[in-house]
Amino acid sequence: MRDLMKLPAAIAVAASVVVSGAAMAQQKPAEFRYTTGAPPNTPWTMQLDRFVKDLDEETKSAMKIIPFINAQLGNEQDTMQQTARGRIDLGGFSVAAAAALVPELSLTSLPFYFSSTRQQDCVYDNHLVNYSKNALAQKGVVFLGWTHVGSGSIVGKKAYKSPADVKGLKARSAPTKTAAAFWVALGANPNPLGITEWSSAHQTGLVDVSDAPVTYYVPSGLGKIAPVYTRTNHVDSGGIIVMAKAVYDKLTSDQRNALHRTVDKRPASQLRAEIRGFEEKILEMHVKNGGTIVNLTAAERAVWQKALESAWPEIVKTVGGNAQAFYKLMEDAKKACGA
């Protein structure tokens, strides 16, 4: 009899569990806006599509990324600032864009600084993570992981086989002190512009010459307007994934863990290899589209390298702030990593 009296209560509890579970199943997933300047049909958008799918699978559709590609939400520098203010949830950026918050990070793009991709990757992965995490957190964003932008060379309507060829020209510069100082060291006149303005600047004659990563150069259409690609390969630019700290702080521990597991599923080594492996195919596409590739001799490239290596101390001084300390960190890291 006593057991029979307990049945209604047990049924009520079971019913409440079923209703509760059904309600949870019907809840809308938490959605996060993801910004990137990557043009469509590039390895970056492929990586982003995969990230969206990975997070969806990891959280059983409880967390969803809404991608905004091709700078739909604005230039990198603007969207990085918006992410820091919590107006955009997260995104993939060049390290040059992260320098809008932490200027010294732009020193990772010092021309001809790394002796090999192995050395560069070692410096990024084993020596720069903690500094970047702490510095960016103070500016309102959470470091999630490294990505990659790719090798940069000189582009325009003619070949630039010597540093003397760009002297006095109007040069498109990334909006960082390091990028501007790069052109000043060559005797050119830098004009800082976001990626959405590169093509029109060349089209209208606002600039004569740029440096650009090949993986952006062709898919963005810049290769048709500035069709000569001179392979100085003076930089192999890094990328970064960050989330607004205001957004991250509101995540549950389960959501944070799921986010980090998803990022860790595709390590920086894999993302870099995918970008680097695609560069030669992009250059082949450029030639098929009527573009020109100028390969420098070892002697010609050495002239570029000599002209720009001597400018490193002045570039570091120009960046200011914590640049000297960060430069020392990079120098120590290079020694630790070897050639």
Coil, helix or strand at residue 305: helix
Please state, in angstroms and rounded to a whole number, the distance separating the CA atoms of residues 114 and 206. Answer: 32
3-state secondary structure of 155: strand
State how many domains the chain has: 1
SS (H, E, C) 107-136: HHHCCCCCCCHHHHHHHHHHHCHHHHHHHH
Question: Quick check: is 3 in a domain?
Answer: no
Is there a domain that residue 20 lies in? no
Classify residue 45: in a domain, yes or no. Answer: yes
CATH no. for residue 159?
Answer: 3.40.190.170
Reading the chain (339 residues) residue by residue, the pLDDT tens digits are: 444 344 444 444 444 444 433 333 457 899 999 999 999 988 999 999 999 999 999 999 999 999 999 999 999 999 999 999 999 999 999 999 999 999 999 999 999 999 999 999 999 999 999 999 999 999 999 999 999 999 999 999 999 999 999 999 999 998 888 999 999 999 999 999 888 898 999 999 999 999 998 888 998 899 999 999 999 999 999 999 999 999 999 999 999 999 999 999 999 999 999 999 999 999 999 999 999 999 999 999 999 999 999 999 999 999 999 999 999 999 999 999 998
Q: Tell whether 338 is covered by a domain.
A: no
**335, part of any domain:** no
* Rounded distance between C-alpha atoms, residue 69 and residue 35, angstroms: 6
Does some domain include residue 14? no
Domain-embedded: residue 258 = yes
Give the whole-angstrom CA distance, residue 15 versus residue 11: 6
Tell me, what's the pLDDT at 231?
96
Q: Which residues contact 233 (CB under 8 A, 6 or more apart)?
A: 151, 152, 153, 301
pTM of the full structure? 0.87
pLDDT of residue 276: 94
Quick check: is 71 in a domain?
yes
- Give residue 304's domain range: 29-312
CA distance 72 to 70: 5
d(CA 260, CA 25): 23
pLDDT value, residue 1: 42
pLDDT at 194: 83
Rg (CA), the chain: 24
Angle, alpha carbons 26-27-31 (nearest 5°): 135
